[in-house]
Structure 1
C-alpha cells in the first residue's frame, strides 16, 4: 500500500482523467480574473490571454481585469470580451479599484467557474465578498516575496481564498515544494505546465537553425523586465568575464539606466545591446539569432520563467538558476542547459564560458530543449488539462 505522502504526490501531479460531466453540450461560463490584460506585458498577462483566446470557443469566456489608471471600459480582443475596471492607479504592484468589487459580483452571478490568477489580493477579496457559489480555480504563479509587511494584512484573506478554492493550478512541482504557503493545500494542487505562445511556436518551427561560424562571437540573450529579482546585474558582471561574446538584453524597467551605467563601468558597453521594446516579429528574430538564452533570476518571484520555453522552442540551450520555484523544472540541468546558484557571478560566468566554447554541446542541449517543449509545453496540452480542471 502506498504511503500518504506517495498518494498526496500523485494527487499533486495528476490532472483529472475525465470531467464529471463530459457529455454535457452546454458551454461552461468562465470568468478569468487577473490584475491586467493585453496590451499590458508580462508572463502572466500573456498566459491569461493564451487561455482566454484558446478556450473562447470551448467555453463562454470573459475576462475581468483593472485599468492601470482611468475609467472602466469593455474591449473585445481577438473575440474575447475583456472588462477593465476603473482604477486610481497602481501602488505596491496593485491596482486601486473600488468598482472592481461591484463588477466581479455582477459578472459572477451567471458564471460556472471563476479562474483567478494569484497573487492578486483584490481578486481574493472580491471573490470572498461576491457571494459566488460556483467553482473557484486558482492559478498560483508565485508567493509574495518582497512585500513581507503587506503579507501581515493579506495572508488571512489569501488563506481564506485558498480554503475556498476547488482547485489550485501550478505550472510545476517546484511551485508547491518551494512555496511557503501551499503545503496545507497540496491535495488541491494540480500541475498544468505553461505553454509557448502559438505565434512564437509557429515562428520557431519556420526558423532555420543558426549556422556555427568558427571564431564568430557567441550571442547570449536575456528577455524580461529589468527589475530586482531578474538578476540582471549578476548577468552583466558574469558576462564581463566571457571573451568573444555579445549580449542582447530585451526588456524595460526601473533598473534600465542603472544597468546601462553598470555596463559602462565594466567596460562591456560595446558588447551589450539594450532593446527596451520589441514587437513579436523582432522578438522572434532575437531568439533565432541567439546562441544561448540566460535567465539569471535571483528571487522566488521568478516562479517559472515563461521566456525559457520560448527560447527552448527555438532550440536554444538555457542557463537558469537553482531557485526554490518552478524555474529549474523547466530547463533541466545537464539536459537542456545548465543551472547555477542564484547570485553567483563566477558560476554564471563559468556556465556561459562553457557553452560559448562548445558549439557541439550547445547543439545537443538545444535539440533536447526543443523536444522538451514539443512534448511538455504545448498550448493544446495546457488547454486540454485546464478544461478537465474546469469540468472536474
Structure 2
C-alpha cells in the first residue's frame, strides 16, 4: 500500500525520466491512498489506478497541540486589531502570497503572514513597495505561538494557486480552531478542507480581486464568518480527526491483507 500525496508539478524534465519507474511501482502496489477525493479525481497519474485507489484525508490530533494562552491571545488582538486575517505556511512559489499582497492594496483590514521560506524577502519588498502598513510578517513561530495566533485571528486565508499545494495543513489547522476559511480552487485538498459556502469561500486561483472580494465579504458579515467557522470545526471533527485517519488506514490495511491471503 502507498499513500500518494502529490503529482510532480514543476520538475517537468525530471518527470520524463521518472515516469516509467513511477508507473511500474504504482502498477504493482495493492492499494493507493490519496489524501483527498479532489486530488484523486484531478490527478492524471491516479486516473489510471482508479480501481485500487481511494481517498484517506490527512487527520490532525488536536490533543498534540498546546492550549492557547488566553492572555497572549488578548495581547495579539490589542496589538493587531480585534479582527485580523492570518496566513500560516512556508513562503514558496506556489503559495500565491504575491496575489494576496495585491489583494491587500489599500485594504482596511490587518493581515499577519506567519512562516519563512525562499520568497520571504521578495514578499517583504513587495509589501513595502505597495505601502502595505497593515501587513505584518512574523517569520517562523513555535507551536505555542502558532496556536495563539490561530485562536486570536478572525479568518485563515490560504491563497495557494498551483497544484504543488496538494493539501494545506495550515488551512486544516484553521478549521480545527473553528475559523472561517478562504482558499483557491486548484483541484486539490484545499477545496476539500474548505467547502465553498459552508466552511468559507473558495475563489479562482491567481486572482487578487477574487481574494479581496472574499476577504471583504467575511469582514462585512461577522455573522456569516461565525457560521462558516462553526461549520469548519464540525467538518474537522467529522472528516479530519486523527481518529478518523487511523480508522480508515486500519480498514484499508485489513482489506489488503485479506486479499493477499486469498491470493
TM-score between the two structures when normalised by the length of structure 1: 0.61
Q: How many residues align?
A: 250
> Is contact 2:36–2:57 with CA below 8 Å preserved after alignment?
yes
After superposition, the Cα gap between the structure-2 partners of 1:197 and 1:331, relative to the gap in structure 1 and judged at 3 Å, is same
Deviations 1:239-277 (A, max 9, x none): 22421x111111111100000000101111x31221221
Partner of 1:226: 91
Unaligned runs of 5+ in 2: 256-263
- CA distance in 2: counterparts of 1:194 and 1:287, whole angstroms: 19
For residue 211 of structure 2, the aligned residue among 348, 355, 366 is 348
Within the candidate set 305, 313, 332, 2:176 is matched to 313
Give CA-to-partner distance per residue, 1:113-158, whole Å, 9 cap, x none.
xxxxxxxxxxxxxxxxxxxxxxxx1111111100011100000010
Decide whether the 8 Å contact of 1:304 with 1:325 is kept in 2.
yes
- Matched residues in 2 for 1:201 and 1:312: separation? 14
Q: Are 1:162 and 2:26 an aligned pair? A: yes
1:334 corresponds, among 197, 209, 226, to 197
Which residue of structure 2 aligns with residue 184 of structure 1?
A: 48
Q: Does 1:274 align with 2:137?
A: yes
Question: Which protein has greater RCO, CA pairs closer than 8 Å, 6+ apart?
Answer: 2
Q: State the secondary structure of the residue aligned to 1:187.
A: coil
The 3-state SS of whatever aligns with 1:254 is coil
Contact 2:40–2:54, Cα closer than 8 Å, also in 1: no
**Cross-structure match for 1:323:** 186
Per-residue CA deviation, residues 157-215 of structure 1 (Å, 9 max, x unaligned), is: 100010011111112111111112111101111211111233466737x989x8999xx
- 1:99 corresponds in structure 2 to none
Conserved in 1, the CA contact under 8 Å of 2:37 and 2:54?
no
> Could you tell me which of 366, 376, 381 is aligned with 2:229?
366
TM, length-normalised to structure 2: 0.89
Residues 337/307 of structure 1: CA separation in 2 closer, same or farther (3 Å cut): same
Contact 1:168-1:190 at 8 Å conserved across structures: yes
Provide the rounded CA distance (Å) in 1 between the counterparts of 2:217 and 2:107.
10
- Relative to 1, partners in 2 of residues 1:197 and 1:307: Cα closer, same or farther, differing over 3 Å? farther
Separation of aligned partners in 2, 1:224 and 1:178: 24
Residue correspondence of structure 1 range 230-241 to structure 2 within 5 A: 230-241=95-106
Work out whether residues 40 and 55 of structure 2, in 8 Å CA contact, stay in contact via their aligned partners in 1: no
> What are structure 1's unaligned runs of at least 5 residues?
1-136
Change (3 A) 1:182 1:193: same
Higher helix share: 2
Alignment-derived partner of residue 25 in structure 1 = none
**Equivalent-residue separation in structure 1 for 2:218 and 2:175 (angstroms):** 15
Higher-strand-fraction structure? 1
CA–CA separation in structure 2 for the residues paired with 1:275 and 1:161: 42
Question: RMSD of the alignment, in Å?
Answer: 2.1
1:140 aligns with 2:4: yes
Q: Secondary structure at the match of 2:57?
A: coil
Cα separation, partners in 2 of 1:183 and 1:339, compared to 1, 3 Å: same
